[in-house]
């Protein structure tokens, strides 16, 4: 896979740096995919204290203080789908995924979503390549290795097209600036140039949904459970399921008790 632009190389380097710096909570997926659980707010005590606000003045300060009664209440809340207490615990994930995966992910709307913008930056010039497992259904390879080679060649040509045409647009903008046809200084690459920005806006229309994008996703635990319930199932699309399973593994490492009770509650539902 050719990486055409400097921004994409910087992101690739950052992925490597984050997986080294935060190995328990940062994972690579495939050639360019990535997910990291960057931060969380609240824990099991937050959920229990919220649930008890109408019934008790008792407040838990630490997960280590949980009694068997507390664990039973937490399990009851999970298994009986008492939703609002779980909205008080938050997670912030960063993930780099193909755009077609993002289109499914963004349907989980009760969350905060901040995505890489191809208006302000050139696109991430890396694209998803399905491996053999992704191409196989019940033992049958639905897309051959030869087809994947042709697919990759097409993706390379699209990114090459973007780079070639963007350079041409920048050349025309700089030439117009030198001739006084557009205000001086507007073609400075370090500034937010409206002419270059419009060129990026137009040319991003050619970028395929196999291209990667970069997202910060902040979500409460109730919404995260809905994501896990739907996207880790066997019938979920392969690519988003890989991300969902990885996200669940990161969540489980951060909250082993909560994830264990969540699993058990799902088995009893």
Q: Which residues are catalytic?
A: 231
Please give the helix or strand (H or E) that residue 216 lies within, else none: strand 212-220
CA distance 245 to 31: 17
Q: What is the DSSP string of 74-142?
A: HHHHHHTT--GGGGG-EEEEEEEEEHHHHHHHTT--SSEEEE--TTTS-----B----TTTTEETTEES
> CB of 223 within 8 A of CB of 108?
yes
Residues 6+ away with beta carbon under 8 Å from 34 = 15, 18, 19, 26, 27, 28, 94, 95, 96
> CB of 14 within 8 A of CB of 22?
no
CA distance 113 to 214: 10
């Amino acid at each position: 896979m050719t990486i055409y632009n400097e921004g994409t190389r910087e992101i690739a380097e950052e992925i490597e740096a984050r997986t080294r710096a935060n190995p328990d909570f940062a994972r690579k997926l495939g050639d360019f995919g990535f997910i990291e659980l960057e931060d969380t707010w609240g824990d099991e005590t937050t959920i229990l204290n919220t649930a008890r606000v109408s019934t008790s003045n008792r407040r838990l300060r630490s997960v280590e203080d949980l009694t068997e009664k507390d664990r039973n209440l937490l399990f009851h809340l999970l298994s009986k789908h008492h939703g609002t207490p779980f909205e008080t615990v938050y997670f912030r994930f960063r993930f780099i995924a193909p755009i077609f995966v993002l289109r499914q992910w963004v349907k989980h709307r009760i969350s905060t979503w901040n995505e890489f913008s191809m208006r302000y930056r050139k696109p991430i010039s890396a694209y998803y390549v399905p491996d053999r497992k992704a191409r196989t259904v019940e033992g049958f390879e639905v897309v051959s290795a030869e087809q994947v080679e042709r697919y990759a060649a097409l993706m390379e040509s699209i990114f090459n097209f973007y780079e070639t045409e963007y350079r041409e647009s920048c050349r025309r903008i700089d030439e117009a600036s030198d001739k006084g046809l557009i205000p001086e200084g507007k073609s400075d690459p370090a500034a937010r140039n409206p002419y270059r920005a419009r060129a990026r806006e137009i040319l991003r229309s050619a970028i395929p949904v196999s291209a990667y994008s970069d997202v910060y996703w902040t979500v409460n635990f109730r919404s995260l459970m809905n994501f896990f319930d739907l996207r880790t199932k066997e019938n979920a699309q392969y690519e988003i399921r890989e991300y969902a399973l990885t996200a669940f593994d990161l969540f489980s490492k951060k909250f082993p008790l909560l994830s264990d009770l969540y699993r058990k509650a799902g088995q009893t539902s």
